[in-house]
Structure 1
Amino acid sequence: MSVAPVVIVHGGAWSGGTGQCDARAEGAKQAAIAGWARLKETENSMDAVEAAVRALEDDPIFDAGTGSVLNDAGKIEMDAAIMDGTTLNSGAVACVQNIKNPVTLARKVMENTHHCLLVGEGANEFAEKIGIPVVPTEELVSELSTNKLKFCEGNYDDRVGHAFKATNINKHKKHAQGEHDTVGAVAVDPHGNVAAATSTGGITAKMVGRVGDSPLIGLGCYGDSDTGGVSCTGHGESIMKVHLASRIIMYMETGMSAQDATELALDYMYRRTEGAGGAIVLDNKGNVGLHFTTDFMAWAYVKDDVMHHGLVPDTIHQVAVE
């Protein structure tokens, strides 16, 4: 099957603060360009999503890789997953430290082990065994993540619990305060192969050892070349409760469009859990779905050498990619 290739990325969904809007929008665009360049070079969707997410992990404005938020002990614990929609093989890591690009380590778990998920010390030991270098912690800690932890100190319940509840609801839109700057990418290559990847540092001031949806296949990430691929962002515990990524795929399997399935699933999550977030989706023909129940989500996709990007609902910009 010949398909017009597409790569789409997100840099997280959030409400409230507008201070990093321009930087997040630019970071999403640059990641989409990186993923598109790799997709054109190799015609491989797995290569494309890894390249796009690595670009997001390397940008300290996002909560993944460099720039990951700090837990309540002041340390970084990162999660990532990647999935090949043609074979349904996947790899993931959780609670890893001192790894610059967790998405690459997740791919190595998929390709070099019989497992789908490695966590904590075991994941770091595996990284050392296969030659993925460890970086000093201070290279991953950003000023932004340090300031977020200071803001949260002594206020854990409000920031990690109540902050994700709705603050303004009407029949058209559900807004929730808080940041969900997890990153992700989905791609379909010219051969119709779908891949998806998600990476995160989690939630500021989270408990040590907390793992959210991002490294769990079917929750924060899923890819199936028979249907499509999904990468999610949002309140992890809410996403976990409704199996958001697989729910979107399930809706698509009934014949629903990628866009309608994304909207329905996120509205269902809000109705059942009051959890906010967003998702990017491609079906196996390259049709795009994206939706978010927060004020903002940084997203961009490239198709036919044209980039489409946005940050707020119902506003899409286009620019040619050289």
Structure 2
Amino acid sequence: MSHAAVPPVLVIHGGAGVIKRELSPAKEKAIRAAMTKALESGYAQLKAGKSSVDAVSAAIVVLEDDPNFNAGKGAVFTHDGRNELDAAIMDGDSRRAGAVAGVERIRNPILLARAVMEKTPYVMLSGQGAEAFAQSIGMPLVDPAYFRTEERWQQLQKALKEDGAGKPHEDEDAAKHFGTVGAVALDAQGHLAAGTSTGGMVDKRWGRIGDSPIIGAGTYANSDCAVSGTGWGEYYIRTVAAHAICMQVSQMRVPIKRAAAVVINQEIPALGGNGGAIALDAHGNIAIPFNTDGMYRGWIDASGVPHVAIYGDEDDGSSAPAPAASADDAGDQP
């Protein structure tokens, strides 16, 4: 199923969490520049008539290659001092999907997730098997040392000292790095796609996998809706967050802003979780709810102009009230 052609739209995120106005000017400038580059890279695909899957892939690769984000090069460390990467992508028009989990030698996990979708009969591959598949299609493996950054290493050291009980998010500094990167896009054919990539949670143990590579939890797209989440993954899995948003849009015809706000700002916090999401419908309507101090987010709509926001009090293009909200519906912003 496809919708009538509309101007292409691209929305991206670089993680939600404890993001206060304490970033150094240089760090903030670098993050905004990387988000802008990701938007321009993805939007160039859309303007060239390429698919929403192409746009999502291109935007996420830029963020995976930038050490400022918890994905690819900037992935956080596990308890054992490793980088275990997860990613997923979904084509809303066909509802084909691909995902990888727990890979340690894949520079751009989103590209391997796409290859799973396009070149195998499977949806999710993990660990060494996923890396063997990568080799079978000629995708080079990188030395795990590629992912090591001193900033992330020091975050692990702090978490190990302060988190002896193994309780995630006890430490605020560690908590702000349970982010992800993601993108949702609407192409000129009216087709939607969503993708997400992450290094997971600082100090995670035992091969923990979050919501990002799980279709329906952190990543989902159909012909009406595309969602990429960022936050405390266990709660996104338990609420099947991305799918829950899209089912409201597809089956109940709830406006996307209200659907996204209900799941992200009501259901997940009610269970004790937090985070945010980017959501896009087939008419180009954008929703960017989050219940944390900030969220790295950016968008290009029909105007063709890239916009980037970080802090909670910055306009993100979706600050108008959610349409026809009932008395018990959450607002779109915290």
Query: Map of 1:1-322 to 2, 5 A cutoff?
Result: 1-15=4-18, 18-19=22-23, 20-156=27-163, 157=165, 160-163=168-171, 178-225=176-223, 227-253=224-250, 254-304=252-302, 305-316=304-315
Instruction: Tell me the SS of whatever aligns to 1:196.
Output: strand
Deviation readout 1:81-138 (Å, 9 max, x if unpaired): 0000011000000000111000000000011100000001100110111111011112
Aligned residue pairs total: 306
Instruction: Tell me the SS of whatever aligns to 1:10.
Output: strand
State the distance in 2 between where 1:279 and 1:5 align.
19
Deviation readout 1:166-212 (Å, 9 max, x if unpaired): xxxxxxxxxx9533320000000011110000000000110031100
The answer for unaligned runs of 5 or more in structure 1 is 165-175
- Contact 1:308-1:316 within 8 A present in 2 as well: no
Distance 1:95 1:158, change over 3 A: closer
**Paired letter, 2:38:** A
Instruction: Tell me the SS of whatever aligns to 1:62.
Output: coil
The answer for unaligned runs of 5 or more in structure 2 is 318-334
**Paired letter, 1:45:** S
Q: Percent identity?
A: 39
Instruction: Tell me the SS of whatever aligns to 1:207.
Output: coil
The alpha carbon displacement at 1:287 in A equals: 0.8
**Paired letter, 2:232:** H
Task: Report the TM-score, using the length of structure 2 for normalisation.
Answer: 0.87
Deviation readout 1:46-69 (Å, 9 max, x if unpaired): 000000000010000001011111
**Paired letter, 2:275:** G
State the distance in 1 between where 2:115 and 2:191 align.
19
Quick check: which one's strand share is greater? 1
The alpha carbon displacement at 1:155 in A equals: 3.0
Distance 1:193 1:16, change over 3 A: closer
The alpha carbon displacement at 1:308 in A equals: 2.5
State the distance in 1 between where 2:175 and 2:75 align.
19
Task: Report the TM-score, using the length of structure 1 for normalisation.
Answer: 0.90
